[in-house]
Amino acid sequence: MGDSRVKVNLKRSEKCRLGNMPVKEEVLSPDLALTNGKIVTVDEEFSIAEAVAIKDGRFIAVGSNEEIEQLVGPKTKVINLKGRTVLPGLNDTHLHTAMVGLVLAHTQLFDVSSIKEITERLKRQVERSKPGEWVFGKGDAWEPETLKERRFPRREDLDPISPENPVVITAYSSYGRITVANSYALKAAGVTKETPNPQDGRIDRDLETGEPTGILIDEARRFIFERFPMPAASSEMDRVPLKAIEEAILRADRAFVKVGLTSATDPYVLPHEIRAYQNLKSRGLLRVRYNLMPRIEALKEVWSLKGTASLMPGIYTGFGDENLRIGCVKMLFDGGVMFKTAWMYKPYRGEPDNYGKPLMRPEELEKLILEAHRRGWSVGIHCTGEKAQDLAVQALAGAIDEMPEIKVRHCIIHGYFPTEDSLKTMSRYGIIEAIQPKYINSWGESLIKNLGIERASKFKPIRSYLDAGVTVAGGSDAPVVSYNPFLGIYAAVTRRTQTGRVLGPEERVTVEEAIKLFTINAAYSTFEEDLKGSIEPGKLADLIVLDRDILTIPPEEIKRIKVLMTIIGGEIAYRAPTFKD
């Protein structure tokens, strides 16, 4: 099957000796061998093998069945894959783990197609809840055109299923961030007919009666989230007690392995979130490998203390080990296209005076980048508008020019609409693009409303990035959208929106390229390409077994792929009940 040339860094021999001491044959035998499979190695040639051997948490050999079977010893566990496809463990370069875990305790409303589907899912949570308990549902993006009823949910949709519970659901739309509350929740939040609209927000009202419909937009959501025991965004995790964060991280960790995630980067974390990770790691409870991306605000406080840097010389990008380590420092430079706050060169559709705006002055961004670079930090900058991205890329290139001897890998996070100048500069300076393809599917229809079809078709142009020579690493930004990486791969390959429309077909990528986004490219983004991202001897033994062949199925089937087994460090982290070897 494919290229069967064995790749091995461990040889067995009856006369093998260590120093002057004889070594028993089983000592050098693999702990685990997977045979009779389609092993997609994602090595430099994207070669396919039949079998793989693992010892002490690392791959030691990849090759044909015959070659791997020769290494098997009496204590080797052998798993017969029966022709199933294997990928390296998948790596999400941008998800908010604790927020995902908090959402997982409630109702998932991703990729719903009707209000009826929303209420049916919520009803199951209501039935499990005590009277008075908050019921919460999280979706990705809804538009009237994407829901069967051709309108947003309202409180009268939620009231019948939950007369004794406050119910809140959230999603994004072309109108902004949407929260819908039932009558119980509106009363608990004190929202009435007389409540005025807050600045930068709106309470939707019935045209005839003036009563709130339950739909709260942007800052009007604060009425609910000031009372609801759930942060409105990852930037508000300081509201959550340490123990609750630990529980949320563990809940997410257990969910990640079921969809094939073996590594993840958590961006914009607070110090007490880092402490929660460390506590869990010290107790041996984490399964997935994590890179943590501290927010710049926390580091600015440390850097402002005289002498602090000399007391912590080892705290910079790369600090930690293969299971938990520090990645980039994250900065926010503009808002988002869905909220019409991304900093653009052209105005938003229907708003000729709105170009978005930066969250800090460009000179302040340059100053922070230089300081972080000088201290050995890679920098990840949240940019969504093309003007913001141009200025951020120029600032990163300037830091590299000034201090080229410092080895960092800066990245643009999101990068919705790169200009030709940005693409050229990113390629020249090795600036990475951390992209979230699932947005193409979830937000496509909303972006067409905000920007028009021509501009929206250039959203997240993965093909353009790759053709320009930019390294593109894949992620999700969960829980904004689903953390399932196969939905991201599907979106990168098909660029289909929720309605099935193909948004910018010229920006589609191949299945092989999409897999690389979530494997070797993701590993490269954190200086770990020699540790993981492909199935090769010497690398960490992280892999997943799929229920179908991702390389040969129709692209529409990619979103339906299920993971049958996840192995991390040679240990089975998840095994589906249906998997039989």
Q: Say yes or no: 517 and 528 in one domain.
A: yes
Q: pLDDT by residue (tens digit) across 562-576? A: 999 999 999 999 999
Supply the pLDDT for residue 13. 32
Give, for 62, the enclosing helix (H) or strand (E): strand 58-63
The CATH number that applies at residue 330 is 3.20.20.140
Q: pLDDT by residue (tens digit) across 519-552? A: 999 999 999 999 999 999 999 999 999 999 999 9
The CATH number that applies at residue 82 is 2.30.40.10
The label of the residue with tokens 């204590």 reads 75
Q: Say yes or no: 397 and 460 in one domain.
A: yes
Q: Say yes or no: 466 and 517 in one domain.
A: yes
Supply the pLDDT for residue 14. 32
At residue 578, the 3 state secondary structure works out as coil
Domain with 564, as residue range(s), is: 1-88+534-581
Instruction: Confirm whether 557 is domain-assigned.
Output: yes
Instruction: Confirm whether 407 is domain-assigned.
Output: yes
Q: Say yes or no: 474 and 527 in one domain.
A: yes
Instruction: Confirm whether 102 is domain-assigned.
Output: no
Q: pLDDT by residue (tens digit) across 342-392? A: 999 999 999 999 999 999 999 999 999 999 999 999 999 999 999 999 999
Of 227 and 447, the structure prediction assigns the larger pLDDT to 447
Instruction: Confirm whether 96 is domain-assigned.
Output: no
Q: Rounded CA gap, 573 and 445, in Å? A: 37
Please enumerate, as own/partner, the contacts of 127-135 that have beta carbons within 8 Å and a separation of 24 or more: 129/165, 131/164, 131/165, 132/164, 132/165, 132/166, 133/165, 134/165, 134/166, 134/167, 134/168, 134/185, 134/228, 134/229, 134/230, 135/106, 135/107, 135/162, 135/165, 135/166, 135/167, 135/168
Average pLDDT score over residue span 394-415: 97
Q: Rounded CA gap, 8 and 66, in Å? A: 13
Q: Say yes or no: 215 and 239 in one domain.
A: no
Name residue 476's amino acid: S
Domains held by the chain: number: 3
DSSP 8-class letter at 195: P
pLDDT level of residue 237 (50, 70, 90 thresholds):
confident
Q: Rounded CA gap, 523 and 92, in Å? A: 10
Supply the pLDDT for residue 238. 79
> Could you tell me whether strands 261-269 and 289-294 are parallel, antiparallel, or unpaired per DSSP bridges?
parallel
Q: Say yes or no: 575 and 454 in one domain.
A: no
Helix orientation angle between 362-374 and 386-402, rounded to the nearest 10 degrees: 40
Q: Say yes or no: 418 and 543 in one domain.
A: no
Supply the pLDDT for residue 27. 58
Q: pLDDT by residue (tens digit) across 214-231? A: 999 999 999 998 888 777
Instruction: Confirm whether 101 is domain-assigned.
Output: no
Q: Which of 229, 254, 279 corresponds to the end of one domain?
A: 229
Q: Say yes or no: 526 and 538 in one domain.
A: no
Q: Say yes or no: 269 and 341 in one domain.
A: yes
Q: Say yes or no: 274 and 351 in one domain.
A: yes
Instruction: Confirm whether 99 is domain-assigned.
Output: no
Q: Say yes or no: 243 and 361 in one domain.
A: yes
Instruction: Confirm whether 98 is domain-assigned.
Output: no
Q: Rounded CA gap, 480 and 13, in Å? A: 53
Name residue 293's amino acid: M
Q: Which of 206, 229, 252 corresponds to the end of one domain?
A: 229
User: Is residue 450 over pLDDT 50?
Assistant: yes
At residue 36, the 3 state secondary structure works out as coil
Per the prediction, the chain carries an average pLDDT of 91
Instruction: Confirm whether 297 is domain-assigned.
Output: yes
pLDDT level of residue 301 (50, 70, 90 thresholds):
low
Supply the pLDDT for residue 188. 94
DSSP 8-class letter at 257: G
Q: Say yes or no: 428 and 286 in one domain.
A: yes
The CATH number that applies at residue 121 is 3.10.310.70
pLDDT level of residue 580 (50, 70, 90 thresholds):
confident
Average pLDDT score over residue span 34-41: 98
Average pLDDT score over residue span 403-407: 96
> Could you tell me whether strands 324-326 and 7-8 are parallel, antiparallel, or unpaired per DSSP bridges?
unpaired
Could you tell me what percent of the chain has a pLDDT over 70? 92
For 61, the token pair is 């050999």
pTM of the entire structure? 0.92
Supply the pLDDT for residue 298. 73
Q: pLDDT by residue (tens digit) across 123-176? A: 999 999 999 999 999 999 999 888 999 999 999 999 999 999 999 999 999 998
Q: Which of 497, 516, 532 corresponds to the end of one domain?
A: 532
CB 103 within 8 A of CB 55: no
